A and B are shown apart, each in its own frame.
Chain A
């Protein structure tokens, strides 16, 4: 089955700096890569996603890049703010049956004032 590795497990940045979280996946058939944000005590929520036919996607201060050859994808957050502090999960979709997502182990991002 699919295996998704995520790094780093914790990340601390100063407010206004950029943050980058990286993931790798194992199954070359995966074609959909979402990122979820989970604030403390809350449910995970989708913040951005990318499909395998696209190399980069941006939404205001966040962007995701995908390198299919290397099976890498990354989340980039620019001009970080305290409200960006949360756990971020990457995921990869296994094609076929059930729309099943495999998640990475999460990155705890802390934005310090």
Chain B
């Protein structure tokens, strides 16, 4: 099992450019999440999807959109990148019921110039 796979691992954008971060999980989890990690600020939830066909805003959704393409895939899109979106992005998945354990991808480091 690959677990949670996200691409790309690194990306440099110019202000105003758009891009999509891809995430896929092979653990048959219902729930999927996108977090951003910034120094001193921990992991902040951008968007999540409790199940296929649903998405909800997290703590810091402005400037982002998401798509839950199917049960396996959950993408994050930056329509017009800004320097404030420079961060490390983590995708995660988990079962909705029982424990709250999340399984994270390896992260995507995004730099917006």
- Which residues of A are in contact with B by a Cβ distance under 8 Å? 1, 6, 9, 32, 34, 42-46, 49, 89, 91, 93, 97-106
Contact = CB atoms under 8 A, between A and B. Distances in A.
B107 A43 contact: yes
Contact of A93 (B44, B49, B100, B107): B100
Contacts of B48: 98, 100
Interface in B13-59: 31, 33, 35, 40-45, 48-50, 56, 58-59
A16 B48 CA distance: 40
A100 B104 contact: no
Closest 5 pairs (CB-CB, A-B): A98-B50, A105-B42, A43-B104, A103-B43, A93-B100
A99 B48 CA distance: 9
B42 A1 contact: no
Nearest to B31: A99
Contact of B105 (A1, A43, A103): A43
23 contacts: A1-B59, A32-B99, A34-B100, A34-B101, A43-B104, A43-B105, A43-B107, A44-B102, A46-B102, A49-B101, A89-B42, A97-B50, A98-B31, A98-B49, A99-B31, A99-B50, A99-B94, A100-B45, A100-B48, A101-B100, A101-B102, A103-B43, A106-B42
A100 B95 CA distance: 11
B101 A104 contact: no
A89 B90 CA distance: 14
Given A6-B42, A44-B43, A97-B50, 16 more contacts: A34-B100, A34-B101, A43-B105, A43-B106, A89-B43, A91-B100, A98-B48, A98-B49, A99-B31, A99-B100, A101-B45, A102-B45, A102-B59, A105-B40, A105-B42, A106-B40
